[in-house]
Structures are given as structure tokens and as C-alpha cells.
Chain A
Amino acid sequence: MTSATGIGARVLRTEDKRFLTGTGRYVDDLPLARATYAYFLRSPHAHAKIKSIDIAAAEKHPGVVNIFTGKDLVDAKVGGLICGWVVKDKHGDPHKAPPHPVMAVDTVRYVGDTVAMIVANSHDEARDAAEAIKVDYEVLPANVDLARAFDKGVPQVHAEAPGNLIYDWEIGVKADVEAAFAKAAHVTKMDIVNNRLIPNAMEPRAAAAEYDKGTGNYTLWSTSQNPHVLRLILSAFVLGIPEHKLRVIAPDVGGGFGSKIFCYADETMVCWAASRVGRPIKWTAERSESFLTDCHGRDHVTHAELALDKEGKFLALKVETIANMGAYLSTFATAVPTYLYATLLAGQYTTPLIYANVKAAVTNTAPVDAYRGAGRPEATFVVETIVSKAAAELKMDPAELRRKNFIPTTAFPYQTPVALQYDSGNYPPIIDEAMKIADYPGFEARRAEAKARGKLRGIGFSSYIEACGLAPSQVVGSLGAGVGQWESAQIKFNPTGNVQVMTGAHSHGQGHETTFAQLIHDKLGVPMDQIEIVHGDTATTPFGMGTYGSRSLAVGGSAIMKATDKIIAKGKKIAAHLMEADVADVVFENGTFKVAGTDKNVPLAQAVFAAYVPHNYPHAELEPGMDENAFYDPANFVYPSGTQICEVEIDPDTGIVEVIAHTAVDDFGNIINPMIVEGQVHGGIVQGVGQALFEGAVYDKATGQLVSGSFMDYTMPRADNFPSFKLGYKVTPCPHNPLGVKGCGEAGAIAAPAAVMNAVHNALAPIGVKHVEMPATPLNVWQSIQGAQRAAAE
């Protein structure tokens, strides 16, 4: 660390002041003169033919400006929404890609599918008019049940996806795995459901658009995690507005967790309609609309088997998963349960053989796509629950079984059987530290004490690995990704010495404005208050891929580091000229260029000034100006790892599970700002515990309605559901990026569900409960206890 605000320092956030004083600027906050307001009419049916849409009465409603339906888009030759990742099935054929119209034309396929857009002078008037639209539906049979999606006679969601199958994909050699199972001393089997989640970023999705008739330019403000990617999709595939005529701005965004990566129907419509309406259009989702139309997460049904030898060494893992895509393929939906899931099934272990088969299904539910962790929480849940189950069956200590199978620290880089090559890691000290913090040796005494109070206490481990920092472009390209996954940075000094840093990453809570400034400060010596991090506007930032997959620092931060190298290199030449020294003798230290062994020096600000006022300047060799761009394409993913230990207490009379303690020890490589990293872990843990204990999207099997469609029914984790968390760190720097950093944004959510559920199972094992499904709600736990008691009585 060079200073109190450099790399590694607990620097308070630059962005906080505006958020704390109510001066943040989110999409809905935009004052747009003469704005109109959009309201979307959504399908009330899970599956229906649209026989006709009558907008005549609605058009006459006070304040109505325009009404659009799917037919208008067909007439205007607007393209459909796309899925940007082509997954090839086990025969090498691309996945089925049923069309995804921006607004339904003749069929609606889930409750919430978009049917019409009403634009009016106020939100209330638009909504009033929407009620006057008459849609004649012919209701069709629907299927919202993932487990039944491939059964005979189940309603077909798309003619283009016979049998509701999008792909049947596999990784690994099945025969080799079967052979290993044949020789196993012990096989642990389990059936699990990875429950469907609704992201619920606290800021609902919103969009606003404006069209400039004079220039033909569109501006779209969107709650996007990746404005450049959104623009690319809208331009190249959906609306055909040339990229240079469309500016996408993602201003302050109130959380994303994946749900704001994708290109959605509503923002597409708002943008498209702006030129037709001739006035700015604003739209903000109501929360109940977010429940219906934001992409949901997870939703797998899995059968897994783990083969072990008699010492407890893992021989092979076999996984069969059905993954729900919802009614349409969202932007990255296909990749999540394949390349972001099955490739993680080695976990932290040396399991030599792994076979996974994933079948993706369409159902009459909202589209499912990446949600915090995307594929990796699902994989970690499979691996970490089956390992704990194996330990219980073999009467081994769960930590001991894990240690026995950890990839040895000397084995890195380590090639797993499922494509990934882990770059670095050191797992044993992590679990040791976690056990120390969690006082594992004292657990049995605590269990006994709880028992005396009539409570069942349990402890659970989860040792996760994740691959993040998405991603080496060549690798993802060969796997079907439609885009590269590098990141960009531009460092633009102003003549007066302050600096703007443009990044293609986007911050919606992660604190880039602080962390990235720390990098600049540390590397270039510019004071923090002289640094501005600019993000989220396609007009002012270089093309970049945005923020998801814990990539901003590892990839975006690395791009910034590359750009600082260029600044220093140029600065050295200018300084050499000013000091009349040889460039080779110039060093850069603490923000100043020096000639080693002399007292000659040129502060960076002076070199910058010379670059902009180049009166005394090496013109023959250098261009004026101090403005450098860099793109960074990572050599590999980064591989954060860690262990979480959860301790719960269950009230057997009510089934309530209380989290008593939760410990997380992580290896995120080098840490730039520990305060921000801790915040990411806390938030992740709560989302992970949320999945394990509280959250679950429920569609009614008979009607296809979303039963958990508001905070009244969908249990959001609240403050009183948690204790304070205990965190720890171990550091093995990433060997292949300039900062030595790994990602930290998703780890909490990836590891926590298994830790919690292992603790729940550990608590309930003494009374004979074999399995509780997530979320382990009081009802679920109570029913499991009843089941076990009935089984014991029989």
C-alpha cells in the first residue's frame, strides 16, 4: 500500500455522499420535459392464443398518446429478442431457438408476457386506458412444472422446441464414469431441487427514451448492468438503429444481481416508440410487474451420485440436471446451466471423473437467466451437499472428508475433468481458519446445550470454488458466446492534472468509483479527489462488456492497470525530455518521474501539463495529450475459493430455522478495498441464506399464476433473520492478472445455500429426517419432521 487511500486500504466510498443526501440519479429520477408515460398490458394467462386485440375504446381515453401491439412491431419489421450464447447439444447441433417476439403477436406463453404498450400523459392515465383494451384470448393448456416438462402429453410451449426440449447437453465421458462407479466402495445418491428465485433488486427496472428528430439520434436510459451490450443487441438484432445513432445510459442503478444484464421487451419498446411518439417516454416497473417479468434465477431438478473408495477418496461424480429456461430464451440463459454450471462440478476436489448431462426445458413461466452466481451456486449446491451427505453416510467428519479430497496446493495450475484449469488456490488453510472462527471443536457442547432447551442445533460446511472474471474471449467464443468478454479503460488527464477514467464496467452498488480510483491513486499518485470514474454511458465510455460474473476488478481493473502503464510510459518520455535525461534512466515513483541517482524530478502533473501545452515537447517522437486507452482480455478465468460454516437452531415444534452463526473465509486474491469486499460477502451470504431458508418462486400448477408474486408472499430476507457474520481471508494472488485479484461479488451467494442446508440436515439427522428441500421454510421443515416421525412409527 502506498498510502491511506491506495491498494489495500479501507477507503470510504466516493459515491456515498450523493446516495446519502438523496441526490443519486436513478432512471426514474430523470426530469424529462414533455415526457409521456408507458404502461404495459401483460398477459393474465400462462398460455393462450390471442384471437384479437381491440384498442379502439382505450385510444379514446383521456391522456392517451399512442397504443402499440405486437402487430405494429411485425409491420415495422422489428426483430425478436435474442439469446446470445449458442450451446451445442450432445450431437453437436445448436440449441433450439424459438422466436421471442418483443410483444406477443398471436400467442402468450407466460403470465406477464407483454401484450400492448400504452403511452399517455401520465402513468395513471396509461394504466386507466390499459383496462379498456379488450383482448380476446383462447386459453390453452399450460405447463409450469419443470419436472414434467418432457413428459408425454405435456402442453408444448413452442412448436420450434418439440417435447419442450431446448438442448440435451453433456460433458465428460459417461462410460468412464460408469466404470468408476462399478468399482466404488460407496455410492452416495441424492435428488435435489434448486429452487427458483426472483432477483428483486430494490430498484425496479426502468427505462426512458428520447428521440432527436433533427439528428435522428436516440437516447435510452436503462437500469442496465451493461449499457454497451444492450446497445449492441438493440442495434444489431432487434431495432436496427445503427449503434452510432443510439446512446444508452445506465445512470445510478439500484442493484442488479444479474437481472439487469439482459435485453428486455419493455426497454426495447420504450426506445422503439420514442421516435413514433415524438416525445420522451418514461417507464418504471411496479414491483408486482418486476415479479412477473424480471428474469428469474436457478430452477433445476437434479439427480446426483458420488462414488467413493473405501478411504473416502472421490472416484467419480455423475449429475443429471433438468434446467428451466422459462417460456423464452433470455440473453444468456443457455450458458448458465451448462458452461457456468457443469464446469464447476469438480469443486475444490480431485474427483478424477465427472459426467454431467443437462437438459434445458421450456415451460410457461417467466424466462430464467443469470442471477447472482449464475450456474455456480447450483453446482456448488450439488457438490457440497452430496459431499456432506457422503460424510454423514460414512460417519466421517465433513471437514475431514473435504480435506482428504482437496486439490493439493502443489498441484496448481490444476486441470479439472470438466474443462477448467484452476490457476491457483490453497484450500486447507481456508477451512482451518473457518473452523477456528466458527469454534468447530466447541460445537457438540453447543448442540447439547441447545438440546436441553428443546432445540435442534446443526452445523454445515460449504467449500466452494467459482470461476469468474468472465472471461477469456477465445474460450467463451469456442463455447458459443456471441460476444468477446474483455474489458476496456480510458484514462484521460485534463491539462490541470485531474483525471477522468472511463470504464466499460458498470457499478450498481459495487463501489467502482472508489475501488477503481484507488487503483489510479496507487499507481499514478493522483489524489483521490482529483479522480473521476466515469461509467455507464455509451457516448462517453469506450465499448465494454459491463458488470456481471464478478468481472469488474479482475478484468476491468486490469484494463485500467494496462492504461496506467501506457500513461507512465508516455509520461517517462515527456519527463526525460524535460529533464534532458535518457528515458531508460527515468523511474516513476509516488507520482513523480525521477532520474535515478539525481535530484531531477518531474511530477506527473507537470508532464501532463507539458503534454497539453507542448511548448517544450518531444514532438518528433510523441503526440501531444495524455489520454490512453487499453483493452484487457484475460488469459483465464479467476478462481476465488473459500469455506463457509453455518450454524443453525431448529425449533422442532414450529419448524423455524434460525441462523445462529455464519462464518465465511475467502480467498479473493489481493484485496483492493477490504471494506467493500466485506460488504459484497455480507450481501451474498444473505442472498444465499435467502435461497436456502426463505425464497422460492411458486407458480400454481393448475392456473400457471405466479403465487409468490409480491413481497406479501415471496419471503425477502430481513434484518432480523440474521446474526452478524464472521469473516476471514486467505490470499493466494491470481497469477495471471496484473492486480493479482479474483472476484468477490458472487461468492457469498454461491457458498451459502449448501452451508445452510448441510446445517439443517445435520440438526435434523438425530430425529431421523433424511432430506429437506430448499427453501427450508418452517412448513417444509415441519412436514419433513412429520414424515420422519411417520416413517419411524411404521
Chain B
Amino acid sequence: MTISVAMTVNGKAVSGKVEARTLLVQFLRENLGMTGTHVGCDTSQCGACVVHVDGQSIKSCTMLAVQAEGAKVMTIEGLAPSAEKLHPMQEAFRDNHALQCGFCTPGMVMSAIDMVKRHNYELDEATVRRELEGNLCRCTGYHNIVKAILAAAPAMKSAGV
């Protein structure tokens, strides 16, 4: 079944033709060529595909493209305010060496931003670790990811994002 979908991705109106079975992540990667969002599993557990839909973090491998009809989608590509300036969370990941191969990174960053906001910019280490339940990383041992998120929380607050 071919269906037309339209949504806003990173502030831009986009549309396309998909099958009912097309996943949101496929729509982003294949229809829109936005390959920053990754697929790391087929059981909805790794979090490499996390994006924001209407302000909430979700796994784009477990949502149909048609379910995002009319939604506001934010992906890793849309975070940095300009070519020179990164989002405070991206900045913190870089400053704290919270990424190695980079494959889990987009999902980690998207989950991290959502987590910081939900906790009103105030988190401790145990909370960060628990909130990362849906994101797997095989490279970093999580140590520096946790550090980065703890560092980003106040930075996001003062940047007002």
C-alpha cells in the first residue's frame, strides 16, 4: 500500500511516498537521505535510531513513517544551530570523548537531550546511567558518555536549549 506522508523534519516541511510498512528510520535514511540516524538492531533495543517526535525521544525503527504524519521530527542533523556551532550536548560529547566509532552517537545524543530536559537540567550519575537503558554503546564503556551528559545539563540550561 503506497501512502503519501508529510511531516516537518528539523524545521523543514518534507513529504514522500512510502509503503505502509516503511519505518520512520527508513523514510529518514532512504527517502530523505538523512543517514545520521542509524539502525543497530532489529529488536528495538539499541537506541541507535533515536530521534525526537513532537519533542519526545522515540525509536524511529519502531515507528511507521505514516505514524509521523504531521509530526515535528528532530534528528541529529538538526541540532547544531550553525555550521560552526554545536548544540551543548554535541559539544559536551566532544569535550568528554564520549564517542569512539560514532555509530551509537546520534541516538545517544538525542536520548541525552531528552533526558536532560525531562529531568529539568538536574541529574546525578545514577539517573543518567538508568536513563540510558535504551541505548547501547560497545566502544566507550559508557564512562565518558555519562560524564558528557552530566556536563551538558548545566550548559543546556544556561544556553536555554
Contact = CB atoms under 8 A, between A and B. Distances in A.
A13 B97 contact: yes
A21 B97 contact: no
Interface string A1-37: 0000000000011011111111111101101000000
B109 interface: yes
B36 A23 contact: yes
B56 interface: no
Interface stretch (B41-49, B63-71, B153-161): B41-49
B43 A711 contact: yes
Interface string A672-684: 0001101101111
A204 interface: yes
Interface-central residue, B75, B77, B100, by most chain A CB under 10 Å: B100
B12 interface: no
Nearest to B134: A718
A21 B142 contact: no
Contacts of A254: 38, 40, 101-104
A16 B94 contact: yes
Interface string B13-28: 0000001010000000
Interface string A174-210: 0000000000000000000000000011111000000
Contacts of A16: 93-94, 99, 102
B105 A19 contact: yes
Residue of A201, A203, A712, A748 with highest tally of chain B CB at under 10 A: A203
A676 B103 contact: no
A202 B137 contact: yes
A17 B87 CA distance: 11
Nearest to A712: B43
Contacts of A544: none
A170 to B, nearest CB: 35
Interface string B99-121: 11111111001000000000000
Nearest to A286: B42
B141 A19 contact: no
A68 interface: no
B102 A509 contact: yes
Contact of A722 (B45, B76, B80, B143): B143
A95 B132 CA distance: 46
Given A26-B38, A287-B42, A683 B141 contact: yes
B93 A287 contact: no
B35 A683 contact: no
Interface residues of B, number: 57
B10 to A, nearest CB: 10
A642 interface: no
B102 A724 contact: no
A255 B79 CA distance: 24
Interface in A323-338: none
Given A685-B141, A719-B132, A203 B38 contact: yes
Contact of A202 (B35, B101, B126): B101
A15 B105 CA distance: 12
Given A20-B90, A20-B93, A286-B42, A720 B99 contact: no
Contacts of B132: 718-720
A20 B104 CA distance: 10
Contact of A676 (B33, B77, B97): B97
A136 interface: no
Contacts of B145: 719
B105 A20 contact: yes
Given A17-B94, A19-B105, A682 B46 contact: no
Give the size category of A's interface with B. 35 or more
B146 interface: yes
A10 to B, nearest CB: 9
A253 interface: yes
Which of A508, A682, A719 has the most CB atoms of chain B within a 10 A radius of its CB?
A719
A716 interface: yes
A286 B40 CA distance: 8
A202 B48 contact: yes
Contact of B109 (A18, A20, A508, A684): A20
A675 B96 CA distance: 8
A167 interface: no
B97 to A, nearest CB: 5
Interface in A572-616: none
Interface in A249-278: 252-255, 257
B58 interface: no
B31 to A, nearest CB: 12
Contact of A20 (B86, B103, B135): B86
A288 B130 CA distance: 26
Contacts of B142: 682, 686, 718-719, 722
A22 B36 contact: yes
Interface of A: 12-13, 15-26, 28-29, 31, 124, 200-204, 252-255, 257, 284, 286-288, 508-511, 675-676, 678-679, 681-687, 710-712, 716, 718-720, 722, 724-725, 748
Given A124-B19, A254-B104, A284-B39, 18 more contacts: A16-B94, A17-B86, A20-B76, A20-B99, A20-B102, A22-B75, A26-B35, A31-B33, A200-B138, A201-B138, A253-B101, A254-B38, A287-B41, A287-B42, A676-B97, A683-B140, A719-B145, A722-B143
6 contacts: A25-B35, A26-B35, A29-B35, A202-B136, A254-B103, A720-B133
Interface of B: 19, 21, 29, 33-43, 45-46, 48, 75-77, 79-80, 86, 90, 93-95, 97, 99-106, 109, 125-126, 128-130, 132-133, 135-147
The 9 nearest A-B residue pairs measured at CB: A22-B36, A19-B102, A254-B103, A509-B101, A682-B141, A509-B100, A686-B141, A29-B35, A22-B76
